[in-house]
Amino acid sequence: MKVFGFAGWSGSGKTTLIEELIPRFTAAGLTVSLVKHAHHSFDVDQPGKDSYRHREAGCKEVMVSSEKRWVIQHELRGDPEPGLEQQIARMSPCDLLLIEGYKHYPMPKLEVYREANGKPLLHPEDPHVVAVAADVPLPTKLPQFALDEYDRIAAFILARSELKR
C-alpha cells in the first residue's frame, strides 16, 4: 500500500483537489482509500438515530451495517487520539492510501497553497513536501502545479508512488 499526503491550511483547496484526483486514480485501475484528519469535534451520526443513542448511552464502539456500506464509530472517551500509524493499520488494503491533513507527519506529500489564506508556506520547513499545488507561482525548486492541473498532479503522484497508470 502506497501512502501519499496532502498538506495545507484550512481553505487551501485540499478536499477539492483530492476529489478531482480520486477518479483519475480509480480510472487507472487503482483501489484508493483516504484518511482525513479533523482538528475539531465531528460527528457522522445524527441525534435520534439508534446508533447515536447507543453511543450516547456509553458504547465505546458502534457498528452500523447495511447491504451498501458499514461504518464503525469509536468513541475515545478520554483516551488520546491514535497516531496516523495506528489509523493506517486499521485501513483495508488498497493500492493508494491518500492522507488529508496530518501536515507534520513524515510522509511524501503535496502542499496545497492558496495565497488569499495569508498563511505561511509549509514546504520551506518540511522536507517531506515533494511538490506544491498553488494558485500563484512560488519561488521553489520543488515541482509546482496550478491547483486545477489535475491530470499533471495525478501523473506526478502515480510516478512518485511508483504506481502504474
Where in the chain are the domains? Answer: 2-40+81-160
Q: List the grid coordinates of 20.
A: 478531482
Look up the CATH number of domain 2-40+81-160: 3.40.50.300
Tens of pLDDT along 75-127?
888 899 899 999 999 999 999 999 998 988 999 999 999 999 999 999 999 99
122 exposed, middle or buried (CB, 10 Å; 0-12, 13-18, 19+)?
buried
Q: Provide the pLDDT confidence category of residue 164 given band limits of 50, 70 and 90.
A: low
Q: Give the sheet arrangement for strand 96-100, strand by strand.
A: 32-36, 96-100, 2-7, 109-113, 129-134, 144-146
Identify which of 17, 14, 31 has the alpha carbon closest to the alpha carbon of residue 153: 17
Q: Provide the pLDDT confidence category of residue 50 given band limits of 50, 70 and 90.
A: confident
- Tell me if the pTM is above 0.85: yes
Backbone torsion region of residue 48, taken as left when φ is above 0, otherwise alpha when ψ lies between -120 and 50, otherwise beta: left
Q: Provide the pLDDT confidence category of residue 8 given band limits of 50, 70 and 90.
A: very high
Residue 134 backbone phi and psi in degrees, to 5:
-145, 165
